[in-house]
Amino acid sequence: MKITYLGSAALLVETKDTDILCDPWLVDGAYFGSWCHYPPREFEPEDFNDVDYIYISHVHPDHYDPATLDRMDTDIPVLIHDYRWDYLRDRIENQGFDVIELPHGERTHLQGETHINILAADGCDPELCGNFFGCTWYDDQADTFGSTQVDSLAVIDDGSFTMVNTNDCPYPIAEQPCRQVKEQYGHVDLLAHQYSAAQFYPQAMGQYSHEQKLEERDRVIREKHELALNFIDLFEPDYYLPFAGEYVLAGKLAHLTQYTANPPREEAREFFLEHVDRSKHEPVFLNANEHIDLTTGERSKEFEPDDKEAKREYVETVLAKRTFTYERDPHPTLDELKALIPSAYDSLENKRTTIGFETDTHVLVPLVEDEWVDIRMNGGGYEYTTSPDLDYLADTDGYVVLDTDDRLVRRLLDHDDHAHWADAKIGSHIQVYKQPDIYERGLYNCMGSFHA
């Protein structure tokens, strides 16, 4: 079995009889254009048209990337978990692919001696995974906070080797299915696991100073690294490959890259070498398009750290000049936005009452022409204001400001082209200001439904 690291969560798994492309985000521009790769990729989606299967773990754009699939052969079958809701399946099928939905925890034969087993990562907690808004496609349909099953992990075995791909599944959310895998398979040759934070925090916290963002960045990185140790302890793999959630920001957000909880891979390597016994579990760090052969343990090329100065220059001179998808839209008028808000509020209010959430905290969204919408999360409706007294609100009910480009606000309110508040947040397009600086899960959960 050969494992090729392609970047972020994208892997190519080649057994003696089957090739499986996992989570192919292979082109720049996920999350409305803000997420990009570094170093720039030297391969194209079409280069992988000879694979036998594509496995997509979940719906987030750095795993299910429509732009990548648009350039691939639609004759390749796509494997996904049989989720309770069909949002992911429907979107992939609309691109012309045949989708094979696999039930939770069933080892499924592919061809030759190769099998795959896809398990849902259950027990959703948006605060733990960093997705404050939750996953909107789920939140629109669910009536409780309970199980979401919006992510999955995969086990691939070929009779000789077993590899586990946990992609974005965070510990301890995925602990139960991981223990199920360990009990079923026993020995794991290679574990590919998350180690960084694919989220907007802290770079999009508008109220934080430069120093606060750096401090929180380092804290989150350390937290993610320490959580990753649990996966290694649980699976006891021969090899472990930290991956997923790797990106740099583009366009007008490029300057925020310095604050993302997305450490240079050489720094992550130092952490794991310090905290994991190399005689028992060997780390695998690969540059893009390089591989490890599990038969021999040999790498195609020794890992080379990125040149920090070259990376900085690339971000500043290339990526910073790019535009986002919504920046090509005309600016909306105030009347256009106001026409969408009544039905968006009804959707939000339906969600709020369904899950039984209530808070006095005001949610304020700037519109255009210095006008804001002030949304109550206690059934009190909404109102328009031109000068919200944030100091007063901070001393009384509290507030959350969600500030973004008015063109993106229109897309989010209109639900245009699958525009979701969650994706705008993960892409760092929303600057968040809040007092008190606390996390109210239900508030963001409801805001995910604030669309017409």
- Residues 81-109 pLDDT 10s: 999 889 999 999 999 999 999 999 999 99
pLDDT at 418: 81
- The pLDDT of residue 173 is 84
CA distance 269 to 286: 11
**How wide is the angle at C-alpha 5 spanned by C-alphas 3 and 9, nearest 5°?**
110
pLDDT, the chain, mean: 93
Distances in whole angstroms, Cα of residue 215 to Cα of each of 163, 209, 276, 405, 407: 35, 10, 25, 27, 32
More confident residue, 128 or 22: 22
Rg (the chain; Cα; Å): 22
Of 224, 236, 235, 243, which Cα lies nearest the Cα of 281?
236
Residues of each domain in the chain carrying CATH 3.30.1050: 329-447
pLDDT at site 84: 84
CATH 3.60.15.10 given to domain 2-320: yes
User: Token pair of 341, please?
Assistant: 């808000």
pLDDT digit string, tens, across residues 256-310 = 999 999 999 999 999 999 999 999 999 999 999 999 999 999 999 999 999 999 9
Q: What is the mean pLDDT of residues 132-137?
A: 46
More confident residue, 129 or 395: 395
Q: What's the pLDDT score for residue 123?
A: 43
| Range of weakest confidence among 140-149, 256-265, 342-351, 368-377 | 140-149
Residue 136: pLDDT over 50: no
**131 pLDDT higher than 80:** no
329-447 CATH fold:
Nonspecific Lipid-transfer Protein; Chain A (3.30.1050)
Residue 128 predicted with pLDDT over 70? no
CA distances from 109 to 76, 112, 158, 308, 320 (A): 16, 8, 10, 44, 45
Among 54-68, 112-126, 174-188, 326-340, whose mean pLDDT is lowest? 112-126
Q: How far apart are CA 123 and CA 105, in angstroms?
A: 16
pTM: 0.93
Question: Which of 83, 82, 104, 116 shows the shortest CA–CA distance to 185?
Answer: 116
Q: What is the pLDDT of residue 122?
A: 66
Residue 61 has pLDDT above 50, yes or no: yes
Average pLDDT over residues 143-169: 81
CATH 3.60.15.10 residue ranges of the chain are: 2-320
Q: Tell me the C-alpha distance between 66 and 448, whole Å.
A: 21
Asked if 340 and 375 touch (Cβ cutoff 8 Å), the reply is no
pLDDT score of 91: 96
**Can you name the residues that pair with 108 across neighbouring β-strands?**
116
